[in-house]
C-alpha cells in the first residue's frame, strides 16, 4: 500500500465518506501548496495535544483545563442538566441560545438491540455527574435526543437508568417537546407528529 492509498484509507473512515471522495480529498491535499499541508498537519497535531474532553460534560473543547468553559461558568443554571447524544447536538443547542444550564454528552446513541448500553455511551459517568450535581442544586434533567429510532431508544434507556436517582432526589425528567418542526408540511406528517402537535397546541 503506497502513501496515496494509506491516506485514502484514513479519509475513508471519515463519517459519510466513500472510496471515491476519500481519493478526491487525497488529490485535493496533494494539489494544495506545501503551506496548506503544513497547516493541516499542525492543526491536527494541535488538536491532538490541546483539545481535551471535559471532565464533567465530556464534550471536546480547546484548552488545558480539566473542565470546559460552560461547566466552570458560575452563571450557568445549576438547576438544569441537558443530555445530548453527540458533540454536534451540544453545538446545535448551544448555538440556538435558548438554554443556559449544564450539559452532558453521552458520546453516541444506544442501538436498539444493544444488550450493554453502558458500553456504548457514558451512562456510568452520567449517573456520577447527576449525583454530583444534586448536591449543587440540580432539579431537572432534560433528555434532548433526536427523534430517530436510535434517538428514541437512547431517550428510553437514559430515562430507565436515571429513574432510581431521580426518584430518590425528586428530580424532574423531561424530553424535548414534539410537534411540527420548521418546514413540516401537515399533509406529509405522520400520526405521532399530528398527535403531539394537537396536544401541545398553544
Report phi then psi at 15, rounded to 5.
-65, 125
Query: According to DSSP H, which parts of 16-57 are helical?
Result: 19-31, 34-50
Does 120 interact with a second copy (rule: CB under 8 A)? no
Nearer to a second copy, 136 or 190 (CB): 190
Nearer to a second copy, 45 or 132 (CB): 45
**Distance in angstroms (rounded) separating the CA atoms of residues 90 and 58:** 11
**Distance in angstroms (rounded) separating the CA atoms of residues 153 and 160:** 11
Does 112 interact with a second copy (rule: CB under 8 A)? no
Nearer to a second copy, 34 or 135 (CB): 34
- For a second copy, the binding residues in 42-81 under the rule CB under 8 A are 43-48, 50-51, 60-63
The least distance separating a second copy from the CB of residue 64, rounded to whole angstroms, comes to 11
Report phi then psi at 192, rounded to 5.
-65, -45
Q: Which cell numbers in the block locate residue 107? A: 458520546
- For a second copy, the binding residues in 155-194 under the rule CB under 8 A are 174-194
**Which position among 144, 158, 161, 162 is part of the footprint of a second copy (CB under 8 A)?**
144
Residue matched to cell numbers 458533540: 87
Nearer to a second copy, 100 or 167 (CB): 100
Amino acid at each position: 500500500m503506497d502513501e496515496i492509498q494509506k491516506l485514502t484509507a484514513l479519509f475513508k473512515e471519515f463519517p459519510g465518506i466513500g472510496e471515491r471522495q476519500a481519493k478526491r480529498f487525497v488529490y485535493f491535499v496533494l494539489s494544495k501548496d506545501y503551506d496548506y499541508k503544513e497547516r493541516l498537519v499542525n492543526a491536527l497535531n494541535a488538536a491532538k495535544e490541546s483539545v481535551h474532553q471535559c471532565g464533567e460534560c465530556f464534550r471536546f473543547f480547546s484548552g488545558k483545563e480539566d473542565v470546559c468553559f460552560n461547566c466552570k461558568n458560575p452563571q450557568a443554571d445549576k438547576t438544569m442538566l441537558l443530555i445530548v447524544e453527540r458533540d454536534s447536538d451540544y453545538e446545535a443547542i448551544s448555538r440556538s441560545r435558548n438554554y443556559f444550564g449544564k450539559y452532558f454528552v453521552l458520546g453516541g446513541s444506544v442501538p436498539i438491540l444493544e444488550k450493554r448500553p453502558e458500553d456504548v455511551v457514558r451512562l456510568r459517568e452520567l449517573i456520577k455527574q447527576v449525583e454530583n450535581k444534586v448536591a449543587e442544586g440540580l432539579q431537572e434533567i432534560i433528555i434532548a435526543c433526536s427523534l430517530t429510532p436510535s434517538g428514541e431508544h437512547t431517550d428510553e434507556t437514559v430515562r430507565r437508568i436515571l429513574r432510581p436517582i431521580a426518584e430518590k432526589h425528586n428530580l424532574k425528567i423531561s424530553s424535548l417537546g414534539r410537534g411540527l418542526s420548521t418546514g413540516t408540511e401537515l399533509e406529509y406528517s405522520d400520526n405521532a407528529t399530528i398527535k403531539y402537535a394537537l396536544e401541545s397546541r398553544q
